[in-house]
Structure 1
Amino acid sequence: MTTEVSERPAPAAADGPAPSMVTGLRSWSIFSIGLGTVAACTIGMFLPLVPEAIGLLGCVMMLALIFLRMPVALAMMIPSLLGLYALRGTMLVESTMATMPYGETATWSLSVIPMFVLMGLLLWKAGLTDSIYSAAQRWLGWVPGGLAVGTNLAGAGLASVSGSSVGMTYTLARIGIPEMLKAGYDKRMAIGAVIVAGLPGQLIPPSIMLVIYAGIAEVPVGPQLMAGIGPGVLVAVMFTIMIVALAIMRPAWSGADTRLAVRSETTWPDRFRSLLPIWPLPVLVALIIWGTLSGTFTATESGASAALLSLLITLWWRRKDGPFRAVADAAVATISSVGAIFFMLIGVEMLSRMMVLTGITNGFSEWVESMDLNRTTFLLMMLVVYIVLGTFLEPLPMLVLTVPILIPTLENLEISLLWFGVFAVFMGELAVVSPPVGILSFIIYSIVKDPEVNGGQRITLGDVFVAAAWFLPMAIIVSLLLIFFPEIATTIPDLTSG
């Protein structure tokens, strides 16, 4: 037996190169192409080209560096400094390096960032995630598609705690998908409910992407965060309606036979008891909104008050399970996150300066004016552009690449920069779902391969992409609602400033 096994040719040798060798060659080829693109762009910047061409080469280099897995902040800084040197020489580069890091980050409007980030991380460390999902299940498990609806609304709640679509999706996928599969849900329905639950993640404060956009567009952070509340709630409500409609039209997709059991097993006292562990969440949201709208607090003071209350909640919640360790972990993570955000904002400002000097921003604005586009037609065009960009770019590169170019055009068309921030960030959220990039789709696929999650069902990457495709039309409808009814995003900031 041993001899026969040892003499049998390996399948890889009979069929061709070993898979590891093929993967290695493919990775090396991709790396070589990216490195060659960076080298070509570097050389091209110092050729006698028009400034616009230098700006375009800088953008291509930035994308190539991001493709090569370089940190986004460095991927923006390197081509920006090279472009500034090619355009104006050493003096401009030296002045930029000497003044921009401090000038871009030492502003009062950005002081709200560490407060909101700390608040979210403290509540995350306090362990509110399981409680939010449990409450959503008990209150909504009996309606058509109830577990999926509960997952969707729990995602909106977790968004206000974590501010991270990736972290929230990971949590919901681990908790929600096994529960829905056990209840008889179609696997695509279960996966789709988790995917879209992440879409409000960067709209409901605290939102890191909205903060970064505020830095790029140079708008106040507080009003920008307030602008995300209405659209974030709208996204959650629209997908809830869609899930209920699908469950009514296709009862077999949503475990229809289990709903009566859920209704009979869950009593009203159980429902109300499930609300007790999550009381900090509505209290904090109410504190932030009331304080800002009433003028009692500035945005920074609201964030500081919420962070202080979150600290007290975390110490009490974890009083028997290492409370000070939880606070220390949240503090360290806050320093790391805020440092990364500020470093990124410095890179964005460098890129913006380079783009302005090359004339690309004004050139694009003049081109739009020559086409005689009004607000609606321009935004519909940008909807298509962002959907296309989302098929191969992640949210942050999308914002960095487009917003500095678009700002003059937005001002000429009298489009609110606060409103556009919500629109652009939501389109970026679609990018993390849409294939072939679809980061959230790949994260969920990696999770559902675990037998403890899939319950023995075979779930392919194609199933994940199909699940995402089911819900994308509703996301487009939400985008159109934002375009035609901008008040959804601008009402709360207007009340705040008024």
Structure 2
Amino acid sequence: MAALTGIFLLFALMIVGAPIAIALLVSGGGGLYLVGGSQLLVGIISTTPMGSVQNYEFATVPMFILMANFIIASGVGDDMFRVAKVWMGRVPGGLAHATALTGAAFGAISGSSTAAAATLSATSIPGMLRQGYDVHLATGVVAISGTLAMLIPPSVAMIIYALLAEMSVGKMLIAGVVPGIIVVLTIIATVSFLVWRNPEHAPSGESYSILEKIKVLRSTWSFIVLFAMVTGVIYTGVATPTEASAFGSFGALILALVRKTPPKKLLQAFRHTVIASCMIGFIVVSALIFGYFLTMSQVTQGIINAVVGSGISPWSVIIFLVVMYIVLGFFMDIIAILILTIPLVHPLIVQLGFDPVWFAVITIVVCEMGMVTPPLGMNVFVISKATGIPVGTVFRGSFPHVIAHLIAVAILLAFPGLVMWLPNTMG
């Protein structure tokens, strides 16, 4: 009875529009009170906040957010797009391909999907539209390329997943590299198909000489340095994810200073980091309290026993969970999805004998689609606000990429080694 009451209260609060952190805190606290009375409730609430944010690896969250804000303030996204644009040259759909590559590069040094979408909106959409690109093609590739920051390290979504599931943050981050490359290739293949079908939607771009292509590579030094300071040191074992996040944020600050970023923008970066970090910290604390409630009320174990004892094949459960995440992505933000499902799904995946890191990556890739699907695709609204292009137009442009993403998910499901190879070779 206590379990049903707590879960019902959670969904009731979400339906009336309560913030996810408040909904989790109230429902989890109420459920704990019904399970063990005021003593249990007070004991957990008094220890969880300090215990969760004191976690050594939690420091990666504000550090990577700060890194992303410094990168945005420095305007390095313009350089990355220019490099990709020059190298794509007169390739059919070259600017769209350049956008996908820029999204991957920006994701590799930022970790923020909405920040990537906003940056790409400012750098690539105007250029594509001026060159005569179809608005659906232009906005669709920007929307989906922005989601790469959720998968390619350093990814805040990956870190939150690891913290909630008590998994290795370093292994989680590195596991996103190869799937990230696969998704980038999927986006490029989708653009190539769309351009092949309607060549007039992507007029040929400017041609560049080999010398010009080599010269423009000088702009990539900042990306290479930051990538090495974060993903490189994590993979080789030179530094922990927490230390790498500190290196990355410091490197991004130096980059911003070298590029003579105005002090006002740097102060805004600090301010935005504090606000975002506090919000995420509050959500994580509330999620842990709700997770304690699920554990104390035996909800998690009951679901695991029911699934294992039902005789359903493990792969049928995996397919069901993938479909569930696709549906949840239509209506919820990725952070809310992870917080609500990880306490239940992670133990189930472990019990069924699957690698939890592999399934975590699958989950993130599936949730990427939620960022570009109606009615609540966050990246779509960011792009619409930044460019003034109607939301419906951006959603229509994103649809072919959603279909292609499903193919990428099927590949990752069929070949788990693509996900686990790199983390299994970490230093």
Q: Which residue of 2 aligns with 1:206?
A: 154
SS of aligned partner of 1:144 = coil
Alignment of 1:145-294 (within 5 A): 145-255=93-203, 258-259=204-205, 262-263=206-207, 266-294=208-236
Asked if structure 1 preserves the Cα contact closer than 8 Å seen for 2:114 and 2:379, the reply is: yes
Residue 449 to residue 294, structure 1, CA distance change in 2 (3 Å):
closer
2:403 maps to 1:473: yes
Q: Which runs of 4+ in 1 moved over 6 A?
A: none
What RMSD in Å do the two structures reach over aligned CA positions?
2.1
Q: Aligned partners of 2:8 and 2:71: how far apart in 1? A: 43
Residue 113 to residue 341, structure 1, CA distance change in 2 (3 Å):
same
Offset at residue 240 of structure 1 (A): 0.8
Q: Aligned partners of 2:272 and 2:332: how far apart in 1? A: 26
Q: Which moved more, 1:466-475 or 1:175-184?
A: 175-184
Alignment of 1:381-420 (within 5 A): 381-420=320-359
Asked if structure 2 preserves the Cα contact closer than 8 Å seen for 1:422 and 1:489, the reply is: yes
SS of aligned partner of 2:425 = helix
Alignment of 1:63-462 (within 5 A): 63-64=14-15, 68=17, 70-255=18-203, 258-259=204-205, 262-263=206-207, 266-318=208-260, 321-322=261-262, 324-449=263-388, 460-462=390-392
SS of aligned partner of 1:279 = helix
List per-residue Cα deviations over 1:300-321 (Å, max 9, x = no partner).
2222233333332222221xx5
Q: Aligned partners of 1:171 and 1:123: how far apart in 2? A: 10
Paired-residue identity, %: 28
Q: Aligned partners of 1:424 and 1:309: how far apart in 2? A: 30
Asked if structure 1 preserves the Cα contact closer than 8 Å seen for 2:171 and 2:423, the reply is: yes
SS of aligned partner of 2:354 = coil
Q: Aligned partners of 1:401 and 1:361: how far apart in 2? A: 12
Equivalent position to 2:415, from 478, 482, 485: 485
TM-score after normalising by structure 2:
0.93
Q: Which residue of 1 aligns with 2:393?
A: 463
SS of aligned partner of 1:435 = coil
List per-residue Cα deviations over 1:176-232 (Å, max 9, x = no partner).
222222222222111211111122121112212112111211112222222222222
List per-residue Cα deviations over 1:412-453 (Å, max 9, x = no partner).
112222222222222222112111222222333344436xxx
Q: Which residue of 2 aligns with 1:456?
A: none
Residue 59 to residue 240, structure 1, CA distance change in 2 (3 Å):
same
Offset at residue 380 of structure 1 (A): 1.3
Residue 252 to residue 165, structure 1, CA distance change in 2 (3 Å):
same
Q: Which runs of 5+ in 2 are unaligned?
A: none
Q: Which moved more, 1:355-364 or 1:282-291?
A: 282-291
Q: Which residue of 1 aligns with 2:5?
A: 54
Offset at residue 326 of structure 1 (A): 4.5
Q: Aligned partners of 2:67 and 2:395: how far apart in 1? A: 34
List per-residue Cα deviations over 1:137-195 (Å, max 9, x = no partner).
11113111111111111111122233221222122223322222222222211121111
Larger Rg: 1
Asked if structure 2 preserves the Cα contact closer than 8 Å seen for 1:211 and 1:225, the reply is: yes
List per-residue Cα deviations over 1:226-253 (Å, max 9, x = no partner).
2222222221111112212322232122
SS of aligned partner of 2:109 = helix
Q: Aligned partners of 2:327 and 2:278: how far apart in 1? A: 31
1:476 maps to amino acid: L
Offset at residue 376 of structure 1 (A): 2.7
Q: Aligned partners of 2:374 and 2:299: how far apart in 1? A: 30
SS of aligned partner of 1:362 = helix
List per-residue Cα deviations over 1:243-264 (Å, max 9, x = no partner).
1232223212212xx33xx11x
Q: Which moved more, 1:336-345 or 1:287-296?
A: 287-296
SS of aligned partner of 1:198 = helix
Asked if structure 1 preserves the Cα contact closer than 8 Å seen for 2:73 and 2:256, the reply is: yes
Asked if structure 1 preserves the Cα contact closer than 8 Å seen for 2:6 and 2:30, the reply is: no
Offset at residue 127 of structure 1 (A): 1.6
Residue 395 to residue 113, structure 1, CA distance change in 2 (3 Å):
closer
Offset at residue 96 of structure 1 (A): 1.3
2:212 maps to amino acid: D
Alignment of 1:1-80 (within 5 A): 50-64=1-15, 68=17, 70-80=18-28
2:164 maps to amino acid: I
Residue 477 to residue 191, structure 1, CA distance change in 2 (3 Å):
same
Q: Which runs of 5+ in 1 are unaligned?
A: 1-49, 451-459
Residue 222 to residue 79, structure 1, CA distance change in 2 (3 Å):
same
Asked if structure 2 preserves the Cα contact closer than 8 Å seen for 1:63 and 1:397, the reply is: no
Residue 121 to residue 440, structure 1, CA distance change in 2 (3 Å):
closer
SS of aligned partner of 2:330 = coil
Asked if structure 2 preserves the Cα contact closer than 8 Å seen for 1:124 and 1:161, the reply is: no
TM-score after normalising by structure 1:
0.80
Q: Aligned partners of 2:386 and 2:25: how far apart in 1? A: 35
List per-residue Cα deviations over 1:328-371 (Å, max 9, x = no partner).
44333333332222222111101111122232212221222133
1:293 maps to amino acid: Y
Q: Aligned partners of 1:494 and 1:58: how far apart in 2? A: 41
Q: Which moved more, 1:434-443 or 1:348-357?
A: 434-443
Asked if structure 1 preserves the Cα contact closer than 8 Å seen for 2:29 and 2:289, the reply is: yes
Q: Aligned partners of 1:107 and 1:96: how far apart in 2? A: 16
Specify which structure has the bigger relative contact order, considering alpha-carbon pairs within 8 angstroms and separated by 6 or more residues. Answer: 2
